[in-house]
Amino acid sequence: MSSSARLGPRALVAAAATLLALTCTSSAPSGRPAPASTEASPPPPVAPELARVPELALVRSPCNGTCPMDLLIVRADGSALYWGLEHVERVGAYTGWAPRHLVGTLAARVVEDELATLDLIYDSRRTHGPIDTLGLVLDGERHVIKNRDRAAPEPVASLTEALVGLLAGVRWDPEPLAELERPDAPACARLRERVADACTGYATGDYGPAHCLLYAPLVDRVNHNPVAPELCEALVDSYDLSPPTPGAGVGALGFGPQCRRFIESAIARCRGALLDEPLVDSDRACARLLTTMDLLFYKPEQLRGEDGEQLLRISDDYFCTRWNR
């Protein structure tokens, strides 16, 4: 009797499996693994909140130290814009693409943490610390959260860190956008005009603060650095993504003559610096106006009623009188 005849059924199955494995192994090139499947895995799911949050932005401002100075804008379609100026790894203006499922995760945070309901400004009252400004568009309305010296609630810090982390996940174009020594491109002029209108409207109370607070520092950077025309075009597109929201109006708040006079002169200085004098420090020229507006327009409901009338009288008799000297 042959040796194969002495094998039971289980032994025959095992021998056949071994022979099949040896045959498949020998057919592959020596020292190389068998080729992997060519079927593409499905993309990760995208959070539905992404449809409500078409844009997220982060502006990091200089401090008394080595704080990063840059801008990141990312859209719901995954397109991204970055402008790095100081104390950053990537210097210059770059465009790229971010994974949409990661952008969707950030959009979900915006909705779940109700970031659009948070205060406009958080300030520790210490000076020269880092300033991070978040900008977001939710359901067609722009919101801004200025976080001075890390004083904002945890969800603001968490989203800021996530946006910084997203920088490493974006597929950036290898070369930066070509820059002009002077920002004289038509798109840069349009950007100045829009932001000047936004800050004027904020100062008169006709607009809400979001557009002025987010874009005025960026115009100052455009005015004082070599800039790519495509960067200005992207900022104009970002600005136009949502119109400025209506404000209470100076007349509705009842400012006295001294405050009206101060506001008018401050508007002229700020608007002139943004539009007509690109070599003037528009950030500084507008800072006095914006600081005043932070105080007077931060929560307009506080200026209504008997207490509000008293606050307006004090502002007119003391603060605005001093500022006009």
Model pLDDT, residue 1: 45
For residue 26, pLDDT over 80 is answered with no
pTM across the whole model: 0.78
Q: Judge whether residue 161 has pLDDT over 80.
A: yes
Percentage of residues in the chain having pLDDT higher than 90 = 44
User: Which tokens in the block code for residue 147?
Assistant: 């976080």
One-letter amino acid of 143 = H
Topology of the domain covering 44-176: Mago nashi protein (3.30.1560)
Contact 155, 115 (CB under 8 A): yes
Beta bridge partners of 55: 75, 137
- When pLDDT is averaged across residues 54-77 and rounded to a whole number, the result is 94
b/e map of 161-193 (b: 16 or more CB within 10 Å)?
Answer: eebeebbeebebeeebbeeeeebebebbebbbe
Nearest to residue 214, comparing CAs of 241, 178, 187? 241
Mean pLDDT of the chain: 80
Name the token pair of 148: 């001075």
6 CB-contact burial (10 Å; exposed 0-12 / middle 13-18 / buried 19+)? exposed
Residue 12 in this model has a pLDDT that exceeds 50: no
Measured distance CA(77)–CA(53) in Å, rounded: 11
d(CA 174, CA 176) in angstroms, rounded, equals: 7
* pLDDT for residue 279: 56
pLDDT digit string (tens) for 221-230?
Answer: 888 888 999 9
pLDDT at 15: 45
What was the pLDDT predicted at 253?
62
- Taking only the tens place, the pLDDT of each residue in 239-284 is 999 999 887 665 556 678 887 787 788 888 888 888 866 556 666 6
Judge contact between 74 and 103, C-beta under 8 A.
Answer: yes
pLDDT at 130 over 80: yes
Segments making up each domain of the chain, as ranges:
44-176, 177-325
pLDDT at 23: 41
Q: Which amino acid is at 182?
A: R
- Mean predicted confidence (pLDDT) in 174-187: 85
Q: What is the 3-state secondary structure (H, E, C) of 119-140?
A: CCEEECCCCCCCEEEEEEEECC
Mean pLDDT of 73-89: 96
Band of pLDDT at residue 180, cut at 50, 70 and 90: confident
